[in-house]
Every structure is written in C-alpha cells, then in structure tokens.
Structure 1
Amino acid sequence: MPATMNILEESLFPVRWSPDAEGHAGSAPPRVGLLDLLLRSHEIEGLAVPDAPAHSALLRILYALTARVTGLDEAKDGPDNWQFLRDEVLEEGRLPQKGIEDYFARYRDRFFLFDLEPGGRPWMQDRRLKDQCDPSNTAGVNKLVVTRPSGNNFSWFTHASDPRPDLPTAAEAVLNLLTWHYYGPSGRCSAREVNGVTSASAKAGPLRTSLSYHPEGDTLFETLLAGLVPPARGVEAERDQCPWEWDELPDPDEQPPALTGPCSRLTAGSMHALLLVPDPEDSERVRDAYITWAYRTGRGTRPDDAYLIWQISKQGNPYPRPADAHRALWRDLDALLLIDPPGVAQPRRPAVFEWAIEVSPESSELRVRALGFEQDGQAKDTQFVDAVTPPVLGFVEKRSARTQPAVGRLRALGERFGNRLDRALRRAWRTYVNDAKDSAEAWAQEGAARYWPAAERAFWDRFALLDRTGTALDGGLDAAAARTSFLQLAMRAFDDVTASAARTQRGAKAVEEARIELFCDRRGKPRPS
C-alpha cells in the first residue's frame, strides 16, 4: 500500500480557536493538520485533546518543531542571545512561515501516518515490525486505544470486542500512538525477532506514572514559545535529532540513540515500537496495530525532562513527582514557583518555569497546565490528570528573592489543616469502633472529599489578593485570616462526617476526644489555630 494520510495536511489534531481567529464565526475547522497547527498557532487558543497523556505528548512534539522552525534549537552564543532571538519571534506575533514551510518541505515524506512499502518511514513508527513480529498475533486496535479494555480486562468506560473491534479513526490512532510512546507500560508485549533472537519484554515509557507541568498563554503561539528551554552551548541541531529526522532507523540490538539536546529529549525517548495498519476499505481508519519493544537493552535512567517536578527518594535517587488524580494542582504550586521549595523530598521545580516568565510582558498572564496519567510502572492504568491554574507565573521566585513567597505559606496552611482533618477523623473512627488497627478509610475519604475542594476555592480566593508588585510585606498574605479560614473548613468537614455517630453517647465521646487533632500538628502539642 502506498504512503497515505500525511499528518501535515490531514485534519487530525483538535483545537480551540481564539475568538478573533479568521473564520472563527463558523468556518474554522475543529481539527487541523500539523502544518496549520504551527502556521496558525497565533489564532489558536489551545489544543483540545481530550486525553491528558496525549495532550502532554503532542505538546512535546510541538515544542521540538517550534524550536526547529525558529532556530531556537541551538544556543551557541549562550542563553541570553537565545532569549533575545525568542523575543524577536514573540514580537513578530506568529511563528515564521518560511521556516515552517522549509522544514516540512525537507521532511514531508517522514510525516505519513501509513507507509507499509519497503523502506517506508511512517511517522513515529517502525515499518520493520511487519516482518519482525507475528502478523497473526498483533496487539490489535483495542490495545492501541488506551481507554479501551483489551484481552480479559474489565470494561470501565466502553465495551469493546477483540474479535469485532470498532476501528479507530486516524485522528484517534495518532494520539494513542503518542500516548504509547510516552506513557507505555513495561513488561510483556508482542514478540519481536531481531537478529535471530525473539523477545517480548518492553521498558516503560519516559513519562510513565509522571505528571508534567506546562506554561500556558492566551494562544498556542505563546504556549509553545513559553515551553522552550535554551539548549546547552554544545548542542548541535544536526546531532540533536527527532525520530523522523534519522537517516536510518536504529538497531534494536544496540543502545538507544543518545539524547544529546532538547529536541531528542522531547521526542526520541520512547522504549516502544509501533506500526499502524490501515483499513483497506476505509483509508481513514486503522484496522490493526503492532506494539512491541524498541530496544533490547534500554536506558539506564529516565531521560531528564524540563516539565517535571524532580524529587529525591529515600535511597537518594531522583524521580519525577507521580500523577495523583486525588491531588489538586494548587497543592504543588510552591514546588512550581519556588527555587528551593520546602519538603523532605527536596523537590526541584520544572526547568521550563525559569524561562517561561519572559515570554509575556505581563508574566502573570501565563497559567500552568498539569497533564499526566495515574498508573503504575507496569500495566495498571488508573485515571488521566488534567488541571489548569489561574494566572500564576508572575509569582515565580527570582534568584534575588530574600523571603519565602507568600504562595508557599498559603499552600502549607491548606495542607496542614487537611492533614489534621485526616488524622482527627481516623482517630474518631477507631475510638468509636474500638479498633486501633482499623484503617478508618470511610470517614477519612469522606472528609477529604468535603475539605479539599473547599480548600482549593479558599486558596485561589486568597491567592488573588496577594501582592504582585513585590513590595508588600510577606507578599500581602494575611496569614492569620488564612489560617482561620482553613481551620473552619476542616471543622465543618469534621462535624459533617461525624454527625451521625455524635448522636450516641459513645460516638459523641469519640468525636470530642478526636477533635483536638484539628488544633495540633503532633498529638498532645496544640498549636495556635
């Protein structure tokens, strides 16, 4: 089958148009190709990708392409000159049309979604799998689409049949292809024979289990420029290659290609190899998929990534903060804004935020979008994570900061009373049922469901009142009022959860004995409320 479905022109990627975009009144398409994503990025408000991991993966592809077409893929004269060049692009108000057209003219043949001919190079795929894998034992499209059940797994969101699957569209397939490259599981996969040796074990994708944080502007153009980080002086664009720029596909028996700079780190860290098979009766649908390992040896460590909060484990090893669908984004805010945020894990803020604030003249216009996938290291997938803050990047701590920004104290207060509430409810339940070993999850979970959404609203309300000039004492935070506000929310949640038990004598005694936990950080040592 000849090469078909070039993603540069095909309308595969969903977008939200800006209100003043040309044709927004009704003729602007809901999906565009990769070419228009860049050419019209100044008219696009943002990506409308519904699945968080696919959104995160696509942003990284677009960051690399943006760096290429603007010349921001090198910084041989240092970060100051790199930043000056980015400012020039920003002043133009759009990405350079000539740079985009020249780049895609050079690599157009590498952007076909389907290309099964000998020597073909389908985008982000390995055509060799057609010969190296068993065609009668492929992964199938239900395995490709990460929201579908496959094999003997339960159906949670949709019913699917392996013998008669609903064939995904090319638009669905390309986003799930990216999800596999970045968030794919470790463990057993389809068997692949290379150099006479067959194996069926893959390493985890570079972003698996993690939560990434992206600066977000009023347009996709601003978002992409804000998401760039200056390369090291020694990075050479010709060596820092994306997968579609490789002259030849790597040998799976060898070490994976070195990630020498931002473009390769953004796009070439996958440990999975995939190949999509188009439906011969409908060229816009995918009939089958090969999914297997990409390299037999694998990388020793997770590639560095400028969009993750890196922490230190008890064993002294760095690891990215994991995605947690139950943890609201505001609880990570000081780890995003501060140079040295508090915490025993020694969190390090994403490197991108040191440079993002220079993109907008009014840096507070930039928001933060968190995208991730709560999952374990192997095959268990739990829930997508997608959240966005109000404008916050005006509060990024500068190197000259002399005091801890108020946002860190505000976050800590909200966390403190959430933790106290959890401890109080568990103590009350255990006393009530007279079982010190009971997990007390029922009351603790109900209390969390009541407290944390209310605490988030209180946090953002008080955050909006903070000083943005850098002149007010303690950042303009009224710490006493904030403390009282969070305490009242914790007390209200505690009373609501324990109300039914408090009607009995034993329950009332257990509740009142546990209430003291709301006023102390350690048992028996009350602190000012």
Structure 2
Amino acid sequence: MVGLRELFVRAHEISDIAVPVPPAASGLLRILVVMAARIAGLADPVEERGAVEWLDDRDVVLEAGRFDPSAVGAYFDREDLAGRFFVFGSERPFLQDASLAEQCGKKSGLNKIVFGRAAGNNPVWWGPACDVSPSVLPVPEALWHLIAQHYYGPSGRCTARTVDGKSEANSLAGPLRKSLSFHPVGQNLFETLVMGIPRPQETDTEVADAAPWEETHAPDPRRGLCPVTWPGRLLSGRSRHAMLLVPSPDGQGVVDAYQTWASRHTPLEATDPYVITETSQQGNRYAREAREDRALWRDLDALLLKSSQVAGRSRPLICDDLVELPSALRRRVRLRAYGFVQDGQQGDKTWFAATSPPVLEWLEEQDGSRARRIAACRESAEQHSRILEFAAKLAWAESVSPPLDEGEKARIDPKAPGPWRQAALLAYWPQAEKTFWRLIEGQEDPRTAFVSVAEEALRAGVGRAERGWKQARAISHARAVLHKQSKELQ
C-alpha cells in the first residue's frame, strides 16, 4: 500500500491498482486520472491548444515512460492543497464535507456507506456486521467505499441535513449508478493513467477547472453548481452525496460515518468518457447498464465501432483517443470493464471486473473489416440466444400441457417459462463465447456455428427429460423451430 505521492513517483514500477471493490476501482481511476493530467501538464484549458496538439503532447508524456518526480512534488506540495489529502484532522478532509458534523443531527452509521453491509432494519446476509455491532473499518477499506458511494451511491431517503434552518432527507443517485465503465490498461500504472486521460472537451472556459480537493471554497450546498469543466469536475466533481468519516480513537480505523445529500440543485448534464452511451426511443441518452449475465465480449463491438446514430449508440469517448496512440503501444493495450448491477434507487445486486485481451488493433479506424466481423458474430450470438430461449420455453410448454386438439398450439406462460429456459442459456453462453473468439479469426458462417451451439445447449438444458415420449416429441419440435428461425435470419 502506498500514498498518493509515492504512487505517482513509482507509477512506472506499479503494474496495476489492487482494489477488490470494482466500483471503488472505477472511481479511484477517475480521481487518479485527474491528478495525472495535472502532474503531466495535460490539463491546460482547451483554448491553449487544439485536440491534435493535445494528443501529440500526450504521446510525448507516454514516451517519457514515467511521471517527473519534481512535477509530482510540485503538485502535492501546493500551498493551497495543504491538508486536502488527509482523511482525518483537516478542515477539508479528502472527498468529505466537515460541516456534516454540525448540519446532521445524527450519524448515518458506518454500515450505511459500506456496500454489502446491512444498514438500518435490513436483514444481515453476508456478514456479522450490523448497526448494533458495525465493527471498525480499516481506513483504506473505508476510502474504497467512500469513493464508490460518490460515484454509485443510492437515491432516496438519507440522513437529514439542516441548512439555513431547512431540513432535507433525500438524495439523488450517483452519476455512475448501475452503469458499465471501460478503461484502458497498459503494462504499468503510468501508462494506464496517461492513456486514461480524455482529450479536452468543450466546456465553459470562463470558469477555472477544479477537482473537489482543489476547490477554493469548502463544500456548501447553498452555492450553485459550477459548470462541468474538464477534467476535474467532469471526472471527480459530480457526486450527489456528502460524507464524513468518524475516526477511531487511535486514528487507524473508521467507526462511524455521515452520509447525506450534497446539493439541492438539478445536476448538470455531462457525458462520462468511459461509458457506452445509448439513446432511447424517446431520444434520452443514458449509460449502458451493467448486467451480471453479460460477459465483456458481448460489448466488444460497441467499443471498436465508431459511434453510430443509426444504432443509437456511442462508444466511450476515451476510445476515440486510443485510436491515436502510437501503434506499438496500441497493440498491447487491454480494456477493463467495471460494472455494478444496481437498480436506480437503493438496491445493489453484484459487481464485477473483467479485462479483455489486446483488441485496439481491431478498432474500426484500424481494421474496419475485422471490427464489422466482430459485430456480425456478436449479433448472431445474441440472435441465437433469443431463438434458443423461445425454443426451450416452447419445449417445456408442450411437454407439460394437456393433450391438444389437432392444429392447436401449446401456450407459453410468460410467468412460468419452465426450468429448461434458464438451464439452456447457462449452457449456451460459455460455448457461444468460445465460438465467438474462433469465428472472428476466420470466415466461417456465424449462423451455422451458433445454431449448432444453440442446439447443443437445448439438449444440455433439458437433460434426461428427453427419455419420456411426450417430452421427446416436444423437444424434437423445439429443435425444428430453432433451425427454422435460424434460417430465417439469412
């Protein structure tokens, strides 16, 4: 474990960040990227250099192979930032609001900020920690969850906060809640951070950019929101929550916390550079949501293909910057996904992280035919999963329905699709992934390959049920339907 100063001085020696809480890693990378941009001199206002010049300067920084130790020292020794990187004992604790100790009538409880712990009257599922016995949390672990809450925190009821005599007790969701985030990964942390700096965006250049720890004034919910300037406020200044950690007597742990709303002003719109942006039929833009049943390869074409208005999809803006990397570096860059499966309010389900092999040589700008081949294979896999799902539900409906009159069809109950659907899909996706990676290297017809995978998955899903006469007949019919619908895709 290292401090921020040592992290940047030794970034070229550090292979990766080791944070076991993916939403915290996602948020931490954004914070570190802001600091990296400052240290590397890449955070100058847009009008001082164009995008092309900025990309050239980024490549010069990458060629140096490390952060300049003197530049690291100059940043962390800034007089205006004195005490801003301390977790405790400061008027401006890092990523916290010291005024909550006076503005909140009571603490929220340590478990309120720790994802996975039961808070309030919620049942305890995953560990012994509850509000009656929260247990002391080590400072590094508390910081993980503090960061994760700033980006993925819940909406709805929160600890009451009184400002100017008016008490409010509800908050908005964090800016990344339930989203999927993608980041470039280099051979060391230095490369990861510099490649992760998005090119300058057109923001209100009348207002100086600042990250939360760089702001001139302490957090104050009465002030209006500053424009979402690049890169500080864009990547680290859009939290909807205010928090304050309460230290243990020895200062080595956290024993309690405040969590409440940060502002009553309507959040300003901004596009995070690490998310796939989709457009609804109503024209609303939103970040692609994380799903626990969706592997990284199923999003690969959305990362490689240029943004498409027809498809209503925009790849992460950072991918546009990765196109311009020196070819030797681009060939070995991987992409990492961080996902947090949540609902829009209080429910948290699961999180995950996944890393791709080097794939940037398949960007549409570099290899358009390969990128389109990847998209075609992925789409065929998705189509056959839907066909398989229908076939499995049909097989179950026919196997359990009473005798049917001639020409009568079994009715599929949407509320009771039967056990074969889920079992077949569980068998399908691992084999579909293997087939996908094989197909993108050759010229084999994706439809032929995936219909075979789907048929095998249907067989695996029904198991030994095929031994019954009625079941065997239903399954045989489902296979025929599967092949018929597959051929209709041609």
| TM-score, normalised with respect to structure 1 | 0.85
Looking at structure 2, the residues matched to 338 and 520 of structure 1 have their Cα atoms a distance apart, in angstroms, of 31
- Whole-angstrom CA distance in 2 between matches of 1:259 and 1:385: 28
Please list the CA deviations of residues 121-141 of structure 1 after superposition, one character each: whole Å capped at 9, or x if unmatched: 00000000000001xx31111
- What is the aligned partner in structure 2 of residue 220 from structure 1? 189
Q: How many Å apart are 1:315 and its aligned residue?
A: 1.5
Shift of 1:409: 1.5
Determine if contact 2:211/2:232 at 8 Å carries over to the other structure.
yes
Confirm or deny: 8 A CA contact 2:361 2:367 kept in the other structure: no
- Structure 1 residues 343 and 140: alpha-carbon distance in aligned structure 2, compared to 1, 3 A threshold: farther
**Per-residue deviation at 1:262?**
2.1
Q: 1:51 aligns with which of 21, 38, 51?
A: 21
One-letter amino acid of the counterpart of residue 494, structure 1:
L
Measure, in 1, the Cα distance between the counterparts of 2:369 and 2:341: 36
5+ long unaligned stretches in structure 2: 402-410
Give runs of aligned pairs for residues 229-244 of structure 1, distance below 5 A.
Answer: 229-232=198-201, 239-244=208-213
1:446 to 2:423 alignment: yes
Structure 1 letter corresponding to 2:427: R
Deviates more, 1:248-257 or 1:489-498: 248-257
Write the letter of the residue equivalent to 2:334. R
Matched residue, 1:318: 285
Q: Deviations over 1:318-357 (max 9, x none)?
A: 011001011111111111100145985x111001011124
Query: Larger deviation: 89-98 or 441-450?
Result: 441-450
Q: Note if contact 1:250-1:257 (Cα within 8 Å) is conserved in structure 2.
A: no
What's the secondary structure of 2:376's corresponding residue?
helix
* 2:88 aligned to which of 109, 114, 129: 114
User: How far apart, CA to CA, are the structure 1 residues paired with 2:93 and 2:317?
Assistant: 32
In the alignment, is the contact (CA less than 8 A) between 2:209 and 2:229 conserved in 1?
yes
3-state SS, counterpart of residue 84 of structure 2:
helix
Correspondence for 2:459: 495
Question: 1:32 corresponds to which letter in structure 2?
Answer: V
Whether 2:52 is the aligned partner of 1:80: answer yes
Per-residue deviation, 1:33: 1.2
| One-letter amino acid of the structure 1 residue matched with residue 397 of structure 2 | R
Q: 1:343 to 1:515 in 2, by over 3 A?
A: farther
Whole-Å Cα distance in 2 between the matches of residues 411 and 63 of structure 1? 32
Supply the distance in 1 between the matched residues of 2:389 and 2:470 (Cα, whole angstroms): 20
User: What is the percentage of aligned positions where both structures have the same residue?
Assistant: 40
- Give the drift of 1:520: 4.0
How many residues are treated as equivalent by the alignment?
Answer: 475
Deviation digits for residues 181-217 of structure 1 (CA, Å, limit 9, x no counterpart): 0000000000000011001010110000101111111
| Alignment partner, residue 17 of structure 1 | none
- The alignment partner of 1:370 has SS state of strand
Q: How big is the shift at 1:152?
A: 2.1
Task: Please name the residue that 2:448 is paired with.
Answer: 484
2:145 is equivalent to residue 179 of structure 1:
no
Please give the per-residue CA displacement for 1:103-160, whole angstroms capped at 9, x wherever unaligned.
10012411010126xxx000000000000001xx311111121121112223332221
User: Cα–Cα, structure 1 residues 441 and 383, in superposed 2: closer, same or farther, change >3 Å?
Assistant: farther
Separation in structure 2 between the aligned mates of residue 497 and residue 400 of structure 1, nearest angstrom: 38
SS at match of 2:252: strand
Match of 2:435 among 430, 433, 458: 458
Q: Please state whether the residue corresponding to 2:15 is helix, strand or coil.
A: strand
**CA shift for structure 1 position 508:** 1.3
Which one of 309, 319, 339 corresponds to residue 353 of structure 1?
A: 319
1:254 CA displacement: 3.6
1:290 aligns with 2:258: yes
Maintained 8 Å contact 2:305/2:363: yes
Quote the residue 1:436 is aligned against. 412
1:95 aligns with 2:67: yes
C-alpha change, 1:310 and 1:521, in structure 2 (3 Å) is: farther
Gap change, CA 1:238 and 1:39, over 3 Å in 2: farther
Q: Deviation of residue 82 (structure 1)?
A: 0.7
1:333 aligns with 2:297: no
After alignment, is 422-431 or 304-313 more displaced? Answer: 422-431
C-alpha spacing 1:325/1:394, structure 2 compared with 1 (3 Å)? same
Query: Cα offset for 1:56?
Result: 0.2
Equivalent in the alignment of 1:130: 101
Give the one of 189, 192, 202 matched to 2:158. Answer: 189
Q: Secondary structure at the match of 2:225?
A: coil
**Distance (whole Å) between structure 2 residues aligned to residue 51 and residue 234 of structure 1:** 32
Distance 1:315 1:238, change over 3 A: closer
* RMSD across aligned positions (CA): 2.1
SS in 2 for 1:147: coil
Check conservation: 1:329, 1:370, Cα contact below 8 A: yes
Distance 2:92 2:15 in 1: 32
Change beyond 3 A, Cα 1:343–1:383: farther
Mapped contact 2:334–2:360 kept (Cα < 8 A): yes
Choose 445-454 or 395-404, whichever is displaced more.
395-404
